[in-house]
Structure 1
Amino acid sequence: MSPHIDSPSRRNFLRQGALGGAALVIGLHADGLLAAVTDAGGSGARFAPNAFIRIDSDGVVTLVSKQPEIGQGIKTSLPMVIAEELDVPWREVRIVQGDLDPAYGSQGAGGSTSTPTNYNEFHKLGATARTMLVQAAAQSWGVPVDQCHAENSAVLHPASKRRLGYGQLVAAASKLPVPDAAQVKLKDPASYKLLGTRVGGVDNVAVVSGKPLFGIDVQLPGMLYAVYAKCPVFGGKPKSFNVADIKAMPGVKDAFIIEGTGNLNGLMPGVAIIASSTWAAFRARKQLKVDWDEGASAAHSWAGFAAAARQAAKQPGETVMRKDGDAEQAIAGAARQVEAAYTYPFISHASMEPQNCTAWFKPDSGTLELWSPTQNPAANQNLIAATFGIPKEKIVLHIMRSGGGFGRRLSSDYAVEAAAIAQKVAGPVKLTWMREDDMQHDHFRAGGFHFLRGGLDAQGKLVGWHNHFVTFANRVEREGKSVLQPGSGGSLSGDEFPGRWVANCLLEQTALECSIPMGPWRAPGSNVFAWVFHSFIDELAHAAGRDPIEFRLELLGNKDVVPGSGERGVAYDVSRMRHVLQELAEKSGWGKRSFARGQGAGVAFHFSHRGYVAQVAEVTVSRDGKLKVDRVVVVTDIGAQIVNLSGAENQVQGAVIDGLSTLMYPELNIEHGRVVQSNFHEYPLLRMPDTPPRIEVHFLKTNYPVTGLGEPAFPPLAPAVCNAIFAATGKRVRELPLSKTDLSWS
C-alpha cells in the first residue's frame, strides 16, 4: 500500500492541524534548532511555524517534503529518513510538498546536495518526535522511559504488555518540552526497517495516470495564457512587430514589447502575446513578425569559435589553473609523447516539460503569487525582487513538480518573464515556452576545446601532463568592472584528476567571449572533463602498453587522501576511489575474457559531487560502424547508507542512459549568432532499443557521510564507452557527439 500524497501549502498544512483536533507538529528552524509554541486551537503543544511532521489523533503521520522534486526522487527519500526514525510504517505516511518558506532553510535541488544537506537533520527530526511520544507514554503509565520503546506507530511497554498508538499520544506529547540533543538517541542503522529498501516514488501513480502535478498542469479560474518571443540572436532585442495583425487573431487578448534588463540570465527583451488558450497563443506566435536589433553577436558561429580556439592553443593560456614542476621539459624529455585535441559542442538540457510558470499579480496588495517548476525557488524569488523591486515577503512561490531539470531549472529566466507579463494582466497568467524556445533559448552546457600533451618514461609511467583548455565566457559587470565569466562548468579546476597526481603538470585556460547564455548542466564540468581526461589517460595507457586499470591505479598512487589546492579545494580520498576501481575490476570480470574483433571493454572513473564512481562498458561495433553498448557495470561509493534502493538504482541507470544519449547525439550548431536546431527532429536523443540491455549497479557501503546520486554516476559513462570503442576498433573518439565519428572498420 502506498502512502497518501497531497500537496497543500504549508499554511494550509498548519491551519488544518489547528482545526482538525489534537496534533503533534515538529519542525526545524533555519538555524537547525527545534522549538515549540502553542497551537491556535489549544489542543496541545506544537513545534512551529516551520513544521515537517504532523501526527493527527487518528494516527495519520503527515510529512513535508521541502526540496523541489525534479525526477530525482527526493520527495520520497527524505521523508523516508523521518519515517525511519519515527518508526512509522510507510503505508501510514502522507507526503505534502512544501512551498518556498525561509523557515525550511535551503530548498534548492542541484549539485546532488539535497540528501547530504538534509540527511542528518531529518534523522534528528524523526528521532525527536519518537522520543517525545515515548516520554508521553511513559508518563501516562507512570513507568521509566527506558522501559518503553517505539515500534510501528505505537509505544510499547513490554513488561506490562501495554501499547498506545501514536494517535492516542498526540495530546500528551504536544504538552511536553522539546528534549535536548542529549535525550534524543538516533536509531542504530542495523535496526533500520525502511532505509535501504525499495520504495516506489510517492507521485508514481499520479504521474502514470496523468494527474495534474507539474507546473504546466496549473489551472486557475479566469487564467490567461502567454508566450514570449526573444531575439533568435543572443543579446538582441525587438524594435517593432506586427502588433495589429497579432491582436486581431482569434483568442488573442493583448501583445506588447517588454524592454527587459539585458541580463543573459535574467529578463531578456522580447514580445509577449496574451491569449485565451495556449493553442491560441502558440498560433499567434507563429504569425509574429518582429524587426529585431540583432546586435554584434550576429557574427558569431561555431566554425568561427573553433578556428579561434585553434589559434589560441598556439599561444600560452590566459590563465594558469595549475602549475607543478616543469611539464614542458618533462614532456620534451619523455621516452614517449602523446598529443590529442578533444572537442565538445554546446548542448541543451532538453527536459520533457518545457519552461513554464504561472503568475498572478494582485495590485491591491502588491503581492505576486507564482506556481513554478523550479530547482531553485529562492533564486526565482530573488531575481524577481531585484528586477521589479517587489519585496520578497510579497512574493509567494508554490513549488511545482518539474518534468526534468538537469540544472536548467536552477535558472529563473522563465519565472521573471512570467512575473513581468503578470504585472500587465488582470488575473492569473500562465507562460509556456514553445519547444523551439526551450531549445534555442536554453542556458546551455558550454562547449569546449582541450589541447592535451602527455609524456611517458621508459617504464610507461606518466611524467608530464599539459592541458590548454579553451572555453567560453560571458561579459558581466562585477563590482563596477567588466569581466569575463566562464560558463557554469566551463572553468578548469586545478584539482581535477590527474592534475594533483602528476609531478609535472600545467593546466591553462583561455576564454572566448560570447553572448550565449550558459548554465549548470547535469554534473557541471565533470560531464565533459571526465570524458576528456579518461579518454586521454586511455591513450597514454595504450601508448605505454599498460593495462588501463593498472595504469589508473598507478596514477592514483598509495596516499589515502590527496589534499585540495585548486579552485575547488576538495580533498580527494584516494583510498575510496582505489577501492571502487578494484571492486569494479572484480564485478566486471576485467581481463578475464577475450573479445572478438569489433568487441571491446573500456573503463573510466570520476569523483564528483561527493561521489566516487567507476564504470566498465562493453560494446560491439559492426563493420559498418553501428555501435551497441552491450553491458555497463557501475560501482559507486556514496557513503554509509542507501536511502531508497529503488530510487538509487533508478538514478544510476538513468545516468548511464542519459550519459550514453549525450555522448551519441546532441549537438547545437551556432550560425549568425543563433542556434540552428529547433526541435527534436534536429536534436535526437537515445531511443529505447539503443539502451544497454544490461546495466549492473553495485553500491559499496562505507563509513562515510551519506551523499547524493543524481550526478556522480553520469561522468564516467562517456569515456568508458569511447575507450571500449577503441578496444573494439582501434579508433579514438575525440569529438562529440559520437555520431560525427566514423566507427566502421575492416
Structure 2
Amino acid sequence: MSAAILSRRGFISASLLAGGGLMFDLAVPMAQAADGTPVILTAFIRILPDNRVIIGAKNAEIGQGAKTMLPMMIAEELDVDWAQVTVEQTHADAAIFGGQSAGGSRTTPREWIPTRQAGAAARAMLVAAAAAQWGVGAATLTTGSGKVTDPKSGKSVAYAALAAAAAKLPAPDPATLTLKDPANFRIIGQSVVGVDTPAIVAGKPLFGIDFKLPGMLYAVLETCPAFGGTFKSADLDAVKALPGIAHVLPIKGDGTAESGYDGVAILSTSWWSANKARETLKVEWDTSAVAGFSTESYATQAVARGKAKADTDITRTGDVDAAFASAAKVVSADYSYPFLAHATLEPQNCTALFKDGAIEIWAPTQNPENGRGLVAKALNLSPEKIRINFSRIGGGFGRRLMNDYMVQVAKIAAQLPGVPVKLLYSREDDMRRDFYRPAGWHGFRAALDKGGKLTAFHDHFVTFGKDGRAVRGGDLPAHELPVGLIEHVLLEQSFLPTNMPTGWLRAPGSNALGFVTQAFMDEVAVAAGKDLPGLMLELLADPKELSRGTNQPPFVTARAKGVIEKVVAMANWSGRKALPKGRGLGFAFYYSHMGYFAEVLDVEVADGVPKVKTVWVAGDVGSQIINPINALHQVQGSVIEGLGQALAGQAITQVAGAVEQANFDTHPLQRIPDTPTIIVEFVKTDYPPTGLGEPALPPVIPALVNAIHAATGKRIRSLPVTAEMLTA
C-alpha cells in the first residue's frame, strides 16, 4: 500500500499525433514487486484534435471491470468528462505496460496510486503549457471537462489546442503532482457501465471464441483421458482421409499440464468437421503410471492419513497439548470438500499465426507473460518473437491463469507456418482438462474453558502434494484464523499423491477454507453457548494488527468487527428466533484478498431441499468504491458462484486417473430461479481501496450450512449439499 516511487527519468513523454493531436506515454514505476524491483505501469493517453480522449486499458478483462475501472482513474485525474473518453485494449507486453495479469483481486490495490498519477502527470503538462501561453502561474489555473481555465481572466482553452506546446515540455517532477481530493471526484465513485457492455448486448465479436482470420484452420486436440498418459500409436491416415480434414498432427508434450500433454491435433476448415473427425480417431495411450488414481482411493487414504502423524507443521503456537488436556470441553469434527472445475462459459481457445520465425497469438488469458514464457520454451523462441493480443474473456475464475491452450496452439501453428490456427476446446475438453480446485479433508479440534472461552485450536489438513509441498491451490496459510487471536494453535498438513492438475479457483484456498473453518466455528459457538457472531466478536475484541506476510497489509481486527456488526444489523440477527420451523439464519465472516466480508443467509428447508431466500453482505474494501455498479456485480456474482458450488451438485470425481464429469449436466451451474435476493452494503474505512473479485465468495458457503443447521439441526460437513444429508 506504500506510495509509488517515481523517477523523473522516463516518467512521461509527450508527442504530437498526425493531424495535431497529442499522445502521452506514461511510465510510472512503483515498489510492488515481490522481489523489491520496480514494476513499471505504462499507460497511454491520446488527445485527438476534436478534444476526444483515447485511453489504453492494459489489463485483461475477465468481467472484473478492469477495462473500465483503470481508464476511469486516469480520466478522473486528467480531468476530462467520461463522455469524452474512448477505451482501447492494449496488447500484452510487460516491457511496455508493466503487470497485466488478472487474478488475486490485486489490480485495484496495485494500480490505485500509479494509475491516477498517470492522469495527473498528463494534466500537469497541459496546465503548464497553458500557463506559459498566458504568462500566469500554473497554480492559478483550473481544469475540467478537458479544458484549462484561468479564473481571473475567464479565458479557457481545450486540451487539444495545447497539444503542440505540451509536447515540447519536459517531464513533470513527480513530487509536484497533487492527486485529487476524493471530495472532488466526478468519475471515481460514480456507476459507469462497462465499456464493452453495449457490444456484448449487441452480440458483437469480442471474445476469443469469436476471433477469425482469413484462411484460418480450426483445430481440436485429443489427449489421454487419464492425466499424464503418453501417446503410443494411432491410425492417423484414417482421419486424414475424411472430407474437409486438412492435417492430423501428433503433438509432443513435456509431461506437465502447463506445457501440455501428448496429443493428436485434427485441423479442418470448420470446427464442427474437425471435432466430428475425432470419432474416427483411434489412439492407444500408455496409462500405466497414472491409472491408479481415483476419488474412492483418495477418500480412503485421507481417513488413514488424518489419524496418523501429520507430514508437516504449518503453525504451532503456545502449548496445544496442555491446553487440550486441561479443557473443560473439547469439540471435534471432520470436514471435506471435493475437486471443482472452473466451468467457464467460454471454453478454452486460442488463435496463433507462426510466420518468419515469430508467432502472433490472440489469447483470452489472465496471465499473458506466463504464457509468453511457456511458448518461448516450447518453440525455442526469444520472448521478443512472440506477440500476444488480448481478447475479452468469457469467464476466467483462475482457469486462464494457466496457459496450456496457448502452448498447444503454438505447437500446432509452428508446424504450419503462414497458416492461422484456432484451437477450440469442446465443452467436454474444457471440463476434463481443467486445473481443478483441489479436494481437502480437515480434522478439527477446539478446546473450551469452563466459561465457554476458546483456548486452543487444531486443524490436521489432508490434501495433495509431493516432497513436503502442497499442490497449487492446496496451501493452508500459516496465519489462518484463529492464529493470532488465541494463544494455543496447531495447524498441520499431510499430503496424498495425485495426477490431477490443480489450480486457483476464484478466492483460491479461501473458497474451501472459509467453508470448513467458519462452519466448524459455528459448532464451537453452539458448544460454548454462544452464537457465531458473538464468538467472532469476542475473539476480535482486542484492537490488533496481525501480520499477513511480505507485501500484504496486516489483518485489522477493528475492520473485521465493523463488517460483523454491520451485517447482523442488516439481517436483524437478533430476531432470528422468531422465524418459523424449517427456516433459519446462518452467519459467517472471512478475510481474504485484503477484503473483510461478513454474510448472513436466510434459508428455508422443505422436503430436504434448501431454498436461500435472502443474502445480506457487508464488506470492507477500504476508503473508496471506484465503480459502484461493478462493485455490486462482483459481490453478487461471488455469492451466486459460492451458492452454486454448494447447492448445484458441483463436484469433480475421478476413476482410473480420468475425470468422470463432461458437461453441465453432471457439473451444473447455479440457475436464475435459484438466485436469492442479495443485499450489499460497504463499510468505508480509512484504508487504501482493495479488490472485489474474490473476497465476497468465501463466507457464503459456511453461512449457508450454518443456516441449514439453524433450520434443521443437521450439520453439513462435506460438499456439495445433497437431499440425503438433510433427510437422513
User: TM-score normalised to the size of structure 1?
Assistant: 0.92
The 5 A counterparts of 1:427-446 are 427-446=419-438
Paired with 1:29 and 1:534, the residues of 2 have a C-alpha distance of 41
Letter in 2 for 1:725: I
Paired with 1:458 and 1:355, the residues of 2 have a C-alpha distance of 56
Are 1:81 and 2:73 an aligned pair?
A: yes
- Alignment partner, residue 412 of structure 1: 403
Paired with 2:21 and 2:551, the residues of 1 have a C-alpha distance of 50
- Alignment partner, residue 61 of structure 2: 69
Deviation at 1:744, TM superposition (A): 3.7
CA shift digits 1:256-293 (9 cap, x unpaired): 21121111222211111111111111111233221111
Instruction: Say whether the 8 Å CA contact 1:608–1:711 is kept in structure 2.
Output: yes
Instruction: Say whether the 8 Å CA contact 1:26–1:129 is kept in structure 2.
Output: no
Which of 40, 48, 53 is equivalent to 1:56? Answer: 48
Deviation at 1:532, TM superposition (A): 0.3
> Alignment partner of 2:716: what SS?
coil
> Alignment partner of 2:291: what SS?
helix
Are 1:400 and 2:399 an aligned pair?
A: no
Deviation at 1:458, TM superposition (A): 1.3
CA spacing shift, 1:23–1:570, aligned 2, 3 Å: closer
The 5 A counterparts of 1:420-569 are 420-426=411-417, 427-473=419-465, 475=466, 483=467, 485-564=469-548
Instruction: Say whether the 8 Å CA contact 1:359–1:371 is kept in structure 2.
Output: yes
CA spacing shift, 1:17–1:74, aligned 2, 3 Å: farther
CA shift digits 1:670-693 (9 cap, x unpaired): 11111011111111111100011x
Which of 280, 283, 295 is equivalent to 2:276? Answer: 283
Instruction: Say whether the 8 Å CA contact 2:43–2:58 is kept in structure 1.
Output: no
- Alignment partner, residue 666 of structure 2: 682
- Alignment partner, residue 582 of structure 1: 565
Instruction: Say whether the 8 Å CA contact 1:64–1:79 is kept in structure 2.
Output: yes
CA spacing shift, 1:532–1:741, aligned 2, 3 Å: farther
Deviation at 1:51, TM superposition (A): 4.5
- Alignment partner, residue 36 of structure 1: none
Paired with 2:642 and 2:351, the residues of 1 have a C-alpha distance of 32
Are 1:742 and 2:725 an aligned pair?
A: yes
Instruction: Say whether the 8 Å CA contact 1:488–1:524 is kept in structure 2.
Output: no
CA-atom RMSD in angstroms: 2.0
Stretches of structure 1 that go unaligned for 5 or more consecutive residues are 1-13, 34-47, 476-482
Deviation at 1:160, TM superposition (A): 1.4
Instruction: Say whether the 8 Å CA contact 2:61–2:392 is kept in structure 1.
Output: yes
Instruction: Say whether the 8 Å CA contact 1:234–1:674 is kept in structure 2.
Output: yes
Are 1:142 and 2:126 an aligned pair?
A: no
Instruction: Say whether the 8 Å CA contact 1:488–1:518 is kept in structure 2.
Output: yes
- Alignment partner, residue 595 of structure 1: 579
- Alignment partner, residue 84 of structure 2: 92
Instruction: Say whether the 8 Å CA contact 1:611–1:708 is kept in structure 2.
Output: yes
Deviation at 1:557, TM superposition (A): 3.2
Paired with 2:384 and 2:679, the residues of 1 have a C-alpha distance of 48
- Alignment partner, residue 25 of structure 1: 24
Paired with 1:452 and 1:183, the residues of 2 have a C-alpha distance of 55
Which of 242, 248, 251 is equivalent to 1:249? Answer: 242
Instruction: Say whether the 8 Å CA contact 1:76–1:201 is kept in structure 2.
Output: yes
Moved more, 305-314 or 286-295: 286-295
Instruction: Say whether the 8 Å CA contact 1:112–1:711 is kept in structure 2.
Output: yes
Instruction: Say whether the 8 Å CA contact 2:141–2:148 is kept in structure 1.
Output: yes
Letter in 2 for 1:668: I
- Alignment partner, residue 638 of structure 1: 621
Paired with 1:487 and 1:714, the residues of 2 have a C-alpha distance of 22
> Alignment partner of 2:491: what SS?
strand
Deviation at 1:16, TM superposition (A): 12
Instruction: Say whether the 8 Å CA contact 1:735–1:741 is kept in structure 2.
Output: no
Stretches of structure 2 that go unaligned for 5 or more consecutive residues are 1-12, 33-39
- Alignment partner, residue 353 of structure 1: 346
Are 1:377 and 2:376 an aligned pair?
A: no
Deviation at 1:172, TM superposition (A): 1.5
User: TM-score normalised to the size of structure 2?
Assistant: 0.94
Instruction: Say whether the 8 Å CA contact 1:316–1:508 is kept in structure 2.
Output: no
Are 1:620 and 2:604 an aligned pair?
A: yes
CA shift digits 1:412-459 (9 cap, x unpaired): 100000000001113110000111111111000000001111121111
- Alignment partner, residue 287 of structure 2: 294
CA shift digits 1:371-400 (9 cap, x unpaired): 000000001101111222110000000011
Deviation at 1:501, TM superposition (A): 2.0
- Alignment partner, residue 169 of structure 2: 176
Instruction: Say whether the 8 Å CA contact 2:75–2:82 is kept in structure 1.
Output: yes
> Alignment partner of 1:323: what SS?
strand
Instruction: Say whether the 8 Å CA contact 2:638–2:697 is kept in structure 1.
Output: yes
- Alignment partner, residue 709 of structure 1: 692
Instruction: Say whether the 8 Å CA contact 1:488–1:525 is kept in structure 2.
Output: no
The 5 A counterparts of 1:162-311 are 162-311=155-304
> Alignment partner of 2:619: what SS?
strand
Letter in 1 for 2:136: V
Instruction: Say whether the 8 Å CA contact 1:626–1:744 is kept in structure 2.
Output: no
Paired with 1:414 and 1:484, the residues of 2 have a C-alpha distance of 29
> Alignment partner of 1:738: what SS?
coil
- Alignment partner, residue 639 of structure 2: 656
Moved more, 137-146 or 246-255: 137-146
Letter in 2 for 1:550: G
> Alignment partner of 1:91: what SS?
helix
Instruction: Say whether the 8 Å CA contact 1:29–1:103 is kept in structure 2.
Output: no
> Alignment partner of 2:335: what SS?
strand
CA spacing shift, 1:17–1:262, aligned 2, 3 Å: farther
Paired with 2:548 and 2:674, the residues of 1 have a C-alpha distance of 39
> Alignment partner of 2:430: what SS?
helix
Instruction: Say whether the 8 Å CA contact 1:495–1:569 is kept in structure 2.
Output: no
Deviation at 1:233, TM superposition (A): 0.5
CA shift digits 1:50-82 (9 cap, x unpaired): 552111221011101100001111100111001
Instruction: Say whether the 8 Å CA contact 1:583–1:635 is kept in structure 2.
Output: yes
> Alignment partner of 2:484: what SS?
helix
Instruction: Say whether the 8 Å CA contact 1:619–1:631 is kept in structure 2.
Output: yes
Deviation at 1:668, TM superposition (A): 0.8
Q: Identical aligned pairs, as a percentage? A: 45
Moved more, 735-744 or 404-413: 735-744
> Alignment partner of 2:575: what SS?
coil
Paired with 2:539 and 2:212, the residues of 1 have a C-alpha distance of 57
Aligned length: 705
Deviation at 1:242, TM superposition (A): 2.4
Moved more, 177-186 or 625-634: 177-186
CA shift digits 1:604-624 (9 cap, x unpaired): 1111111111111111111x1
Deviation at 1:588, TM superposition (A): 1.9
CA shift digits 1:295-320 (9 cap, x unpaired): 32201111110000000011110000
Paired with 1:243 and 1:153, the residues of 2 have a C-alpha distance of 63
Paired with 2:551 and 2:186, the residues of 1 have a C-alpha distance of 38
Deviation at 1:250, TM superposition (A): 1.4
Instruction: Say whether the 8 Å CA contact 2:266–2:274 is kept in structure 1.
Output: yes
